[in-house]
Chains A and B, each alone.
Chain A
Amino acid sequence: MANNNAQPKKAGIAGLFRHQIMIPIAALMLLVLFNLIADPSFFKITLGNNSDGNPVLNGYLITIIDSGSELAILALGMTLVTAASGGQDISVGAGIAIAGSVLLRVLCGTETSPETLHAPVIVAFLVSCLVAMLFGAFNGSLVAFFKIQPMIATLILFTAGRSIAAWINNNQLPNVNEPSFSYYGTYIPGIPIPTPFFIALACFLVTWLLLRFTTLGLYVQSVGINEKTSRLNGLNPELIKLLTYILLGLCVAIAALIKVSRLQTINYSVIAKDIEMDAILAVALGGNALGGGKFSMSSSILGAYVIQFLTTTLYKFQVKADALPAYKAVVVIILVVMSAPAVREKLSMLIKKLRSEKPAAQNS
């Protein structure tokens, strides 16, 4: 961030402390520190061969940047939705089931395990994008035009989404045998870094371009902070909100491609389960106000990877999958309380006090 030079020099630590990206950074450092002490081999990366004999990188860090991709991509859209509408979309997990189901329906037609694909992957992907964006538009219009609270509006698809996904494929679980389809979720032969990471990077780049070369960021924040003022300055707040939900729909479709490609098939009730909570958490952990307004995209992205870091750490220490949420909750409580404005204010005041006491002590 190019902060303006006209800014008077703020008290270094206290000023830095107030910047929101400090929250995920601090959380990340805590996790890194913990792993360094507990078992430094956590950070080891080795080059090995996978079952197909292709060279791939192995290690927990690779797992994090691999499995964190879907979450980070969702966090992009969730950040915009949160900022503009002051609420969250809880239907993204169900949305992934729908988009994934559409993807398989186009690829496999009505067969459960076709010999050849019925359509190129790109066509199937575009169709699933379209469908996911339509569902996003549905959520968005409920929020923007009917003024329904985002969580209530998206509760509809949260509840119905997975059934819709199953219905799209007549409750079949189609299987893709074409190996090239797995490239999106695993590895492209010859490249040792998992493909989802590249997809995520591409998404970050597009988002950066969008925020850099359009006024989306300003409009979204303005609408989120003061809708009335925004309208009086010529914005259409409803349209902006709708747009953020459609963009989140696009993120959902991309995440669905990765998820389905990893498995080569789909399980309607399990795929991307509870991912909406992690996505919301990523936004919160990034220090963004869940009530809307100002946002920092880079903080959200970092927030997403911190959550994945946490999950992976817990897995490494052999926390059972069904006990995972409980452990996660404890850590989340600590992180969220630490990042609450009230606590941060107290902390920065404490630091200020310490700083002002130091010179006083030197003088005496």
Chain B
Amino acid sequence: MQKDSLLEMRGIYKTFPGVKALQNVDFTLKEGEIHALMGENGAGKSTLIKVLTGVHVKDGGEIFVRGRENAVHINSPKQAQALGISTVYQEISLCPNLSVAENIFLARGKGIGVNWRNMNKKADELLKELGINVRGSQQLASCSIAVQQMVAIARAVDMECQVLILDEPTSSLDESEVAKLFVLMRKLKERGVGIIFVTHFLDQVYEVCDKITVLRDGKLVGEYEIEKLPRLQLVSKMLGKELDDMADIKNDSPTFKKTDDKPVYEGEGLCSSEGISPFDFKIHKGEINGFTGLLGSGRSECVRTIFGADKVTGGSVKIDGEPVKITKPRQAMKYGIAYLPEDRKRDGIVGDLSVKDNIILALQIKTGFFRPISKAKALEYANKYIDLLDIKTASVNTPIKSLSGGNQQKVILARWLLTEPKYLILDEPTRGIDVGTKVDIQKLMLKLASEGMSVTFISSETDEMLRTCSRLLVMRDRKLVGELTGDQLNQNTIMATIAGGDTNGEQ
């Protein structure tokens, strides 16, 4: 173990049934360092964090912590804490109805007596030292989310932690709150604390971090000094696309000739309660376009706004040139819009219901309360789509939750295709499903578009989008920052636009 290291993880392995979550991953954290851990979904960031905090036990590899001679075994969160490893999660895990001081010292006193005055005094000192503007006696719930976050950090720091893990701490903070958090992080850095910072926001990484470790598909891509890794390269490493690969980008990128004057869907100044900047969007008959950007960049929020899935807070919509109002999914469905959500489990499936019921659900709701689809008809629909999409299920009456992820996805796709939409929105339809199915879904999209359906497609895999979309809208930090068509549709331009900042990617 190197002298200035606080933490060294060597050759970490972790396997879950069917998934190699971590394979031979190294990670080093030095004293007084803010170290960003980057990677797209499923890269292994959270597994690595959980191995470190004792939530998961590693299958192989060694972990060294300063102050211990030998490799340590972390089998529980409590052990991790004893080794000086503290975590502040995205969701605040404090008790809102207790005071700030109580939260900081909760469950840590020796014996059963509590010296209240002493505790409040000590809390005030600590908070002052860290520059957190709150009194120890204040009730936690009365503080803003940012302050609560910082109190959680103060609690971690006071437990004499040397390694502080911040897991997406900024996702629910506004800009000025983020700035305050960064001040605190720099203060801790001066005290020699090593911070592991997990975030999706590129700007924040470049603002506050010293080093970046990139993971992809459970493997280590590399560890980089921040100055030596321009944004563009970071994005390319996260997505796993070498910049040189751009040469072989196919020339047959989809082109689209519009056949109508009025777009099928046209929105202006759309925004929702999920905090995306107002954006304009339109799609023509038979067109396939897509939203791209890193995870958390706001691409899903855009399509959710179009469908009325989130609370729509502004903007105007035209369907076939006619102004209409879409604030609820029901209204969107009425105008022939269908939406396959990103989070299949939370928003897509109705777990205990059968495959058949899941397939007919949207159509049934569209047909209405007093016109139930007959059993025979429902069976016919279900069997038709089970054949058409090659859904692997024991029977039409099997609960959808017992199907594999890819097959669940196909059932939800079937549900929406059954409603014969004019405009189909697919948010990450190919995530977590096998390659064959992915290709099937892409082919299906192209076929539907050739039959006149409009499709908006979101995928974390850029080449999938390049293969299908004739127009890409690029999102960064919840803003629509570019629109790419024709020659611009290649990996390099997309990555440059996603990265923004120090590149000339702004189109």
Query: Which A residues have a C-beta under 8 Å from some C-beta of B?
Result: 2-4, 6-8, 212-216, 218-219, 221-222, 225-226, 228-236, 293-294
**Selected A-B contacts with CB under 8 Å, 22 pairs:** A4-B396, A6-B396, A7-B397, A213-B370, A214-B370, A215-B372, A218-B372, A219-B369, A221-B350, A221-B353, A221-B357, A225-B352, A226-B346, A226-B350, A226-B351, A232-B309, A232-B348, A233-B361, A234-B333, A235-B365, A236-B330, A293-B352
Chain B, interface residues (CB within 8 Å), range: 35 or more
> Provided the pairs A2-B375, A232-B339, A234-B329 are in contact, do residues A225 and B397 lie with their beta carbons within 8 angstroms?
no
In the complex where A229-B350, A236-B330 touch, is A4 in contact with B379 (Cβ < 8 A)? yes
Verify if B341 is at the interface (C-beta below 8 Å from A): yes
Q: Are A214 and B369 in contact (CB under 8 A)?
A: yes
Docked Cα-Cα span, A65 to B270, in Å, equals 60
Indicate if the CB atoms of A232 and B361 lie closer than 8 Å: no
- Does B78 lie at the interface of the complex (its beta carbon under 8 Å from any beta carbon of A)? no
With both beta carbons as reference points, the residue of chain A lying nearest to B360 in the complex is identified as A218
Which residue in chain A gives the minimum CB-CB distance to B357?
A218
Task: Judge whether B394 is part of the interface by a CB distance below 8 angstroms.
Answer: yes
Bound-complex Cα distance A226 to B347 (A): 8
Q: How many Å lie between the Cα of A230 and that of B330 in the bound state?
A: 10
Known: A215-B364, A233-B361. A221 touches B352 (CB 8 A): yes
Not counting A7-B397, A218-B372, A225-B352, a sample of 18 additional A-B residue pairs whose C-beta atoms are within 8 angstroms of each other reads A4-B379, A4-B395, A6-B395, A7-B395, A8-B394, A212-B372, A215-B365, A215-B371, A216-B369, A219-B365, A222-B357, A229-B346, A230-B350, A232-B329, A232-B348, A233-B365, A234-B362, A294-B352
The answer to whether B361 and A218 touch across the interface, beta carbons within 8 angstroms, is yes
CB distance from B365 to the nearest CB of A (A): 4
B352 CB contacts on chain A under 8 angstroms: 221, 225, 293-294
0/1 string, B370-385, CB within 8 A of A gives 1: 1110010001000000
Residues of A within 8 Å of B341, CB to CB, are: 232
B346, B366, B394, B395: which contacts A228 (Cβ < 8 A)?
Answer: B346
Question: B residues within 8 Å of A by Cβ?
Answer: 307, 309, 328-330, 333, 339, 341, 346-353, 356-357, 361-362, 364-366, 368-372, 375, 379, 394-397, 415
- Which residue in chain A gives the minimum CB-CB distance to B334? A234
Whole-angstrom distance between the alpha carbons of A235 and B366 in the complex?
9
Find A215's partner among B329, B351, B369, B397 (CB 8 Å cutoff): B369
Which of B307, B341, B348, B365 neighbours the largest number of chain A CB atoms within 10 Å of its CB? Answer: B365
Report chain B residues within 8 Å CB of A219.
365, 369
CA distance A251 to B62 in the complex (A): 65
A214 proximity list for chain B (CB < 8 A): 369-370, 372
Contacts of A231 in B (CB 8 A): 309, 329
B356 (CB) vs chain A CBs: closest residue: A4
CA distance A7 to B379 in the complex (A): 13
Given the known interface contacts A229-B350, A230-B350, A293-B352, the answer about A218 and B364 at a Cβ–Cβ threshold of 8 Å is yes
B369 touches A234 (CB 8 A): no
For B356, what are the chain A residues with a Cβ–Cβ distance below 8 Å?
4
**Cβ-defined partner of B350 (8 Å) among A2, A7, A222:** A222
How many A-B Cβ pairs are below 8 Å?
Answer: 88
- Contact residue among B369, B371, B397, B415 (Cβ-Cβ distance under 8 Å from A3): B397
Residues of B within 8 Å of A293, CB to CB, are 352
Which residue on A lies nearest to B372, using beta carbons? A215
Cα distance A362–B352 when bound, in Å? 38
Residue with the highest number of chain B CB atoms closer than 10 Å, among A3, A218, A232: A232
Contacts of B397 in A (CB 8 A): 3-4, 6-7
A216 to B333, CA, bound (A): 20
CA of A3 to CA of B356 in the docked complex: distance in angstroms?
12
Residues of A within 8 A of B307 (CB): 232
Contact of A229 among B348, B379, B396 (CB under 8 A): B348
Distance of A19 Cα from B329 Cα, bound (Å): 35
Inter-chain contacts of B328 with A (CB < 8 A) = 234
Contacts of B351 in A (CB 8 A): 225-226
Smallest beta-carbon distance A94→chain B, Å: 30
In the bound complex, how far is the Cα of B339 from the Cα of A6, in angstroms? 30
Complex: how many Å from CA A228 to CA B353? 15
Q: Which of A7, A226, A231, A235 has the most CB of B within 10 A?
A: A226
B361 touches A226 (CB 8 A): no
The listed residue with most A CB atoms (<10 A of its CB), out of B352, B375, B395, is: B352
Minimal Cβ-Cβ distance residue in B for A293: B352
Known: A226-B351, A235-B365. A8 touches B395 (CB 8 A): yes
Closest chain B residue to A7 by CB distance? B395
CA A292 to CA B144, docked complex, whole Å: 35
CA distance A139 to B352 in the complex (A): 27
In the assembled complex, the Cα of A236 lies from the Cα of B329 at a distance in Å of: 10
With contact pairs A225-B353, A229-B348 given, residues A234 and B330 touching in the complex (Cβ less than 8 Å): yes
B-side contacts of A230, CB under 8 Å: 350
Nearest opposing residue in chain B for A231, CB measure: B329
Closest A residue to B375 by CB, please name it: A2
Give the nearest-CB partner of A228 in chain B.
Answer: B347
**Residues in chain B near residue A229, CB distance under 8 A:** 346-350
In the complex, which of the residues B350, B361, B368, B396 has the most CB atoms of chain A within 10 Å of its own CB atom? B350
Alpha-carbon separation in the docked complex, A228 to B379 (Å): 25
B353 touches A233 (CB 8 A): no
Nearest chain B CB to A218 CB, angstrom units: 6
- Please report the C-alpha to C-alpha distance between residue A298 and residue B370 in the assembled complex, in whole angstroms: 22
Output the least CB separation between B303 and chain A (Å): 12
Residues of chain A with a CB closer than 8 A to B348's CB: 229, 232
Cα(A216)–Cα(B375), bound, Å: 15
B437–chain A nearest beta-carbon distance, Å: 21
Residue contact A226 to B364, C-beta cutoff 8 Å: no
Contact A294 B353 (CB under 8 A): yes
Which residues of the other chain, B, contact A216 by a CB distance below 8 angstroms? 369
Which A residues lie within 8 Å of B333 (CB)? 233-234
B346 / chain A contacts, CB cutoff of 8 Å: 226, 228-229
Complex formed: what's the CA distance from A257 to B365 in Å?
35
Bound together, the chains give a CA A235 to CA B224 distance in angstroms of 49
A207 and B496 CA atoms in complex are apart in Å by 61
Greatest chain A CB density within 10 A among B339, B341, B353, B368 is at: B353
Q: Return the chain A residue nearest B386 by Cβ.
A: A6
CB–CB B366/A234 < 8 A? yes
A6 to B350, CA, bound (A): 21
